[in-house]
Chains A and B, each alone.
Chain A
Amino acid sequence: MDKKLATYICTGCGIGEALDIEQLSKVAQKECKAALVKTHACLCGQDGVAMLKADIQNEGVNCLMIAACSPRVMYDVFRFDGCLVDRVNLREQVAWSQKPGDEDTQMMAEDYLRMSAAKIGKMDPPEPYKPEEEISKDILIVGGGVAGLTAAKEVSRAGYKAVLVEREKELGGFQRKVAKIATFPYKGLKDNDVEALVQEVSKDGNVTVYTGAKIEKTVGGPGVFKVTIAQNGAVKEHKVGAIVMAAGWKPYDPSQLDPKLGYGQSPNVITNVQFEEMAKNGGVKRPSDGAVPNNVAFLQCAGQRDPEKLPYCSSVCCTTSLKQAIFIKETNPEANVYIFFKEMRTPGQAEDLYRKAQEEGVIFIRCQDPQVKASGASVTVEALDDLLGDTVLLEDLDLVVLATGMVPVTAFGEDYAQVRARLRAGETEQKKEEEELEVPQDAILVSDILNLEYRQGPELPGLRYGFPDSHFICFPYETRRTGIYAAGCVRRPMGVAAAFEDGAGAAMKAIQCVEMVSQGKAVHPRAGDMSFPEFFMQRCTQCKRCTEECPFGAINEDEKGNPLPQPTRCRRCGVCMGACPERIISFKNYSVGMIGDIIKSIEVPEEDEEKPRIVVLACENDAYPALDMAGLRRMTYNAWVRVIPMRCLGSMNLIFIADALSKGIDGVLLLGCKYGDDYQCHFVKGSELANIRLSKVKETLDRLVLESDRVRFETVAISDYDKLPKILDDFAETLEGVGPNPYKGF
């Protein structure tokens, strides 16, 4: 599009008082080459906006440089369809955070205008991505348990079609094995109604059900997934738009349990799962002789909350044991039932079930490490009672039930890293080295569930203990594979009550995904973004960095190693753009060239002026808002900084640093999110990758004969705005120590 740039400078909110507006206008005219430069006392006000609209209509303005407040406010006021709009943050990050009327403040504002002009110069309106093949809005649901069935039901009720794939011969998952259920209002045991759900889904015309089936492979991406389903010999292919991953859990293998829990030493020592099966099929009997058990003990946390076995708590075992204990009491009131527990965990209304069990006369013994002595039919339990400080002994138990935990099905199978190592065994040393990156590899186990034909691995990456989530607090359904949403116990150990809601929730995300994709929009976290990365393949060297580093596995490879981007899988973070040493990856409105130009547009004063310049590459999701809030609080910070927001710090390309330093910029500060186990990066690995790349920046610096102090990486949280001024000032101080960049004036 041929651009007609207009610059609008708002003088309100203290901008007018802090800056020489006339001077700014000159910069806009002369340097930014704005066809139109206007100032207004309140640009966001009715007549301010009217003025902009008029110019768009009458003057044919299609690129607006709005030098006013932060893009994070007045977003709706300054939205003009068909126009490129760039917000120059003169308010929060200049007028409110710098000394009013100061020369440096003025220079900062002027630079921001230049930078904006450079940005708009390289910006094109994004065209939504439309794949050749037409987009499917059907939802694939993996797993026919409560979560999966609910997902299918809800998808259908929302007017979409679903394909449900279940490994077992029948639908119902684990709940099918369950006699009674414990759920709201937790006043007692309820009948298991999973059969009704199974019936509803089976009869539903919108749901295609495959039982005794498995997914052989999944190719493509959101909107264009092609799923190959194998069912007793036959193979079917389905096109689906998104996937609900509700493949569920497996009971912890009791043979792995500590021998002192007695499993396998007597038929009368069973697991909570075996108990359910018994209860379901003709009642609970003493396995050794089929007699009605009169003395039953439940042992909680069997192999759980144990670093050696399952380090986490399976959440539901307490409620389950309470349920089973009440079940015994209701069928045989005279029976003596004991529960050995570490902590009784019945959150919410489930507390009522605990109370109910107590009222039923269940005896609770708090202990940390109960011992089961079993030989043949006779079983005893001995445990140090926390409350008595004495060892208590239970003899002649008819049944001991071990509360074993839930393991997500994604936690099984070989580590994909090893598989790859094997695959690459044949390759040449040199080729291997290329791939030996410090890039943190996703923890993917070959669990044979989705069989994704993704270059990065066949299954969902796990975060911890094999649960395939990415941001389990704020965005619980998100996985690290776009368009695939986890639901039910595969995501987090949960009870049946939660699993119902979870199925619906994941279905919601899946439906939303197909809707967004069908409009060529990105999904979370850049929901609605129309831009997507384009690859200038002629210059690709098949270095594989983009495929390696993409946190969401959006890019496949052909056998030659050329990247095969799958835009609907892309989250638009730009990590690939930052990773590419050849700089061949760019978005319409975000590219290496653009950032390069922005940096180049910064005016670097002569050395003798003693006005160093610092380029701050700031994560736009956390660091940038933090800077805004520092302004809002009127905290003043260093005047030499020039902030460039990044979609994610992971989109930082080393060339930016080279550009900046070779231009005479004295230092580059990277502000990214916390990484590591408790990472805060919305793109999972962005800031971490940026930091890893920095380790390579040394070469660049050496080449330029520059001090490594000139580049610094700081992790800041969005709430760290109180610390930001100091971080910036400290860096400026360091740079003063280092001295001016010798490249000034080149």
Chain B
Amino acid sequence: MSIKVDPNLMKDLKHFGLKDASKCFHCGNCTAVCPLSETGTPFPRKLVKYAQMGLKDKILQSTEPWLCYYCGTCSDNCPRGADPGETMMVMRRYLTSLYDWTGFSRKFYTSEKFEIMAVIVTGLFVGLLMLLIHGEFDWQHASLEKAWPAHGMEIADLIMASILSFFLLTNVYRFMKFTMGDLLTKIPLRIYASQAKELVLHFLTQKRWAKCEDRTQWVIHLLIMTGYTTAFILVAVLLAGGLAVLGLTWEPLRFQRPFDPATGRDVIYPIFHPIRLLGYYATVAILIGATYALIGRFKRSKAPYKNSHGTDWMFLVLLELTVITGICVHILRLMDIPFATYAMYILHLMIAVPMLVLEVPFSKWSHLAYRPMAAYLKGVKEKYFAEIQGAQAQAPAAESAQAEA
């Protein structure tokens, strides 16, 4: 059965930011120079070839795009200026849109207008919601607890979280189906289980990335990622994270402490309280990471920053603004300026929420699931095949043993 060449894919991929892939003359330099590429999962050249030939199905089956961390070595060494690293990035965008069954992701990637509108609309919606649904505004003292009581926010949080998880997980499942095919069910669960810790490890460390020549990218990414995770845990979990709802609240660890009638203000943790320190760490880590990335992209300082897609900008800008507005909220609140605090808090959520709602399941953020998953599944597959081979090796041995007996 011969493969049909589809010249239109290249044209389509242009929307996802593809520029130079057509220049590739397949010398193989990129794949050989890449520290992560291996026989079995060679990249990036293979994906460039798929793109050139328009082999959508083969692309859909590939995990390689998620195994690449875009250190840019391949692009720096490309004799043709074909920027294979960029192709891999484009592949990740393209795949994200293919995994997403709602088709929302594709619109988000292929139309900047849609992207911007989506953010604005969600933002306004959030703002509106907060103006409509709120507690009592204390104009003497800035008290968010009074304005938007924690338990209310908790419920909102949980609703949002579950919606996001629903979309994300369904897409992740599709991703697994595409890449594993019938293996997905063939492979016994125990193997999945045995590799599970790898999943967590990859998620937390992206250790593969450390192999890349330019480690700063890894560090920056780690900053953003840990910062984000911390914030997520603080807000989504410890804000009372559902625990309270389930009645399991452990007061000392609430992110937002209740209103203290004595002072007439929200309770703020002492400066060295772990929660507060974690909060600061998250803020600073994300700020540094995002700023570095923004400046890099602005200056096109290195291969990974040379070509920026609308979604890259959108993601970083939202992230940056979320942090900045977050800081403002914090300061204003300390300065106890009620109106500004409330306004800023609304703004903060008007940015933070769309970022989460749109980016996590449908756009750049989704890689937080795909990447570790790809590495994990690679491990699972390898283990599975290793076992099969082992079995085949033993079988004859067993027979011969019987023969002897």
Give the residues in chain A near B49, CB-CB below 8 Å. Answer: 387-388
B237 to chain A, nearest CB (A): 48
In the bound complex, how far is the Cα of B23 from the Cα of A212, in angstroms? 46
Whether A393 contacts B4 in the complex (CB less than 8 A), given A363-B53, A388-B53, comes out as yes
Question: When the two chains form their complex, are residues A355 and B5 in contact, meaning their CB atoms are under 8 A apart?
Answer: no
Whether B363 is near chain A, meaning CB under 8 Å from some CB there, is no
Give per-residue flags for A330-354: 1 if the beta carbon is below 8 A from chain B beta carbons, else 0. 0000001010000010000000001
How many B residues face the partner with a CB closer than 8 A? 15
Residues of A contacting B22 in the complex (Cβ-Cβ under 8 angstroms): 358-359, 361-363
A176 at the interface (CB under 8 A from B): no
B45 nearest CB neighbor, chain A only: A387
Q: Most chain-A Cβ atoms within 10 A of its Cβ — which of B4, B22, B23? A: B22
Q: In the complex the two chains form, is A391's CB within 8 Å of B7's CB?
A: no
Query: For the complex, what is the distance from the CA of A382 to the CA of B4, rounded to whole Å?
Result: 9
Task: Give min CB distance, B46 to chain A, whole Å.
Answer: 9
Query: Within the complex, what minimum Cβ distance (angstroms) separates B53 from chain A?
Result: 7
Distance in angstroms between the alpha carbons of A392 and B2 in the assembled complex: 5
Task: List the A side residues contacting B5 at CB < 8 Å.
Answer: 338, 363, 365, 392-394
User: Would B23 and A358 count as touching, CB distance under 8 A?
Assistant: yes
0/1 interface trace, chain B 27-52, chain A, CB 8 Å (1 if under): 00000000000000000000001001
In the assembled complex, the Cα of A341 lies from the Cα of B3 at a distance in Å of 18
A336 touches B3 (CB 8 A): no
A390, B2: Cβ atoms under 8 Å?
A: yes
Q: How many residues of A contact B (CB 8 A)?
A: 24
In the assembled complex, the CB of B158 is this many whole angstroms from the nearest CB of chain A, namely 48
- A535 close to B (CB within 8 Å): no
Please, how many angstroms separate the alpha-carbon atoms of A359 and B24 in the complex?
9
B80 close to A355 (CB less than 8 A): yes
- A391 with B3: CB separation less than 8 A: yes
A215 smallest CB distance to B (angstroms): 46
B26 / chain A contacts, CB cutoff of 8 Å: 366, 387
- Whether B329 is near chain A, meaning CB under 8 Å from some CB there, is no
Is B356 close to A, CB under 8 A? no
Using a Cβ cutoff of 8 Å, how many contacts connect chains A and B? Answer: 51
Q: Take A355-B80, A361-B10, A363-B7 as given contacts and tell me if A391 and B23 are in contact as well, using a CB distance cutoff of 8 Å.
A: no
Asked, given contacts A338-B5, A361-B10, A392-B5, whether A344 binds B25 with beta carbons under 8 Å apart, the answer is: yes
Asked whether A382 lies within 8 Å of B23 as measured between CB atoms, the reply is no
The complex places the Cα of A336 from the Cα of B25 at a distance, in Å, of 18
A395 within 8 A of B: yes
Please tell me if the beta carbons of A388 and B23 are within 8 angstroms of each other in the complex: no
Which residue of chain A lies nearest to B8 when distances are taken between CB atoms in the complex?
A336
Task: Say whether A713 faces chain B, with CB atoms less than 8 Å apart.
Answer: no
Given contacts A358-B25, A364-B25, A366-B26, whether A391 and B53 have CB atoms under 8 Å apart is no
Contacts of B10 in A (CB 8 A): 361
B23 near A392: Cβ-Cβ < 8 Å? no
Question: A393–B7 contact, CB under 8 A?
Answer: no
**A354:B3 contact, CB within 8 angstroms:** no
Closest chain B CB from A371 CB (angstroms): 10
A359–B7 Cα distance when bound, in Å, is: 14
In the complex, residue of chain A having the shortest beta-carbon distance to the beta carbon of B21: A358
When C-beta atoms are compared, the residue in chain B nearest to A383 turns out to be B2
A10 CB, nearest partner CB in chain B, Å = 60
List of A residues within 8 angstroms of B25 by Cβ: 344, 354, 358, 364
Q: Separation in Å of the A349 CB from the closest CB of chain B?
A: 16
Rounded to whole angstroms, the CA-CA distance of A366 and B26 in the bound complex is: 10
Contacts of B53 in A (CB 8 A): 363, 365, 385, 388, 392
Question: B23 near A355 (CB under 8 angstroms)?
Answer: yes
Task: Choose among B4, B23, B52 the residue that contacts A363 (Cβ–Cβ < 8 A).
Answer: B52
CA distance A338 to B6 in the complex (A): 11
- For the complex formed, measure the closest distance between the CB of B22 and the CB atoms of chain A, giving whole angstroms: 5
The A370-416 residues at the B interface (CB cut-off 8 A) are 382, 385, 387-388, 390-395
Chain B residues packing against A (C-beta within 8 Å): 2-5, 7, 10, 22-26, 49, 52-53, 80
17 A-B pairs with C-beta separation under 8 A: A336-B7, A338-B5, A338-B7, A344-B25, A358-B24, A359-B22, A363-B22, A363-B52, A365-B53, A385-B53, A387-B49, A390-B3, A391-B3, A392-B4, A393-B2, A393-B4, A394-B5
3 residue pairs, one from A and one from B, having the closest CB atoms: A391-B2, A336-B7, A393-B2
